[in-house]
């Protein structure tokens, strides 16, 4: 399986890294980039490793809720879905953030 990042997830990752660079350092941002990318790698072999996102974590639970999964790279929640032979990385959110309908839309 392959992991494919949505435009939104890529933008969220860039925003996280930009904030870490500004608040801490470029070196810390680089470590977080590697840490988040490494957290996603096991999905290639084990796409069901993540848990289904609980209903209470959504602003509005979607009808396809069972297919939306999450893994954690504390304090971040990486939201994804498996579609055919691809794991679609949909969003990277702080673990305290609610998941919105916009976050689970695939946009390439």
Residues 6+ apart with CB under 8 A from 4: 86, 87, 88, 89, 108
Domain, as residue range, for 83: 2-104
Which pLDDT tens digit goes with each residue over 65-98?
A: 788 999 999 999 999 999 999 999 999 999 999 9
Q: Say which CATH number the domain at 27 has.
A: 3.30.2310.20
Predicted confidence at residue 75, as pLDDT, reads 96
pLDDT above 90 (res 47): yes
Q: What is the 3-state secondary structure (H, E, C) of 25-50?
A: CHHHHHHHHHHHHHHHHHHHCCHHHC
pTM for the full model?
A: 0.92
Q: Of 70, 79, 76, whose CA–CA distance to 49 is shortest?
A: 70
What total of structural domains would you count in the chain?
1
Predicted confidence at residue 66, as pLDDT, reads 82
């Amino acid at each position: 399986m392959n992991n494919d990042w949505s435009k939104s997830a890529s933008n969220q990752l860039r925003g996280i890294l930009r904030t870490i660079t500004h608040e801490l350092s470029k070196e810390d941002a680089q470590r977080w980039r590697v840490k988040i990318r490494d957290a996603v790698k096991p999905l290639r072999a084990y796409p069901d490793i993540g848990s289904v996102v609980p209903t209470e974590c959504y602003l509005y639970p979607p009808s396809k809720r069972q297919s939306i999964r999450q893994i954690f790279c504390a304090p971040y929640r990486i939201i994804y879905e498996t579609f055919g032979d691809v794991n679609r990385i949909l969003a990277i959110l702080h673990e305290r953030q609610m998941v919105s309908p916009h976050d689970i839309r695939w946009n390439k």
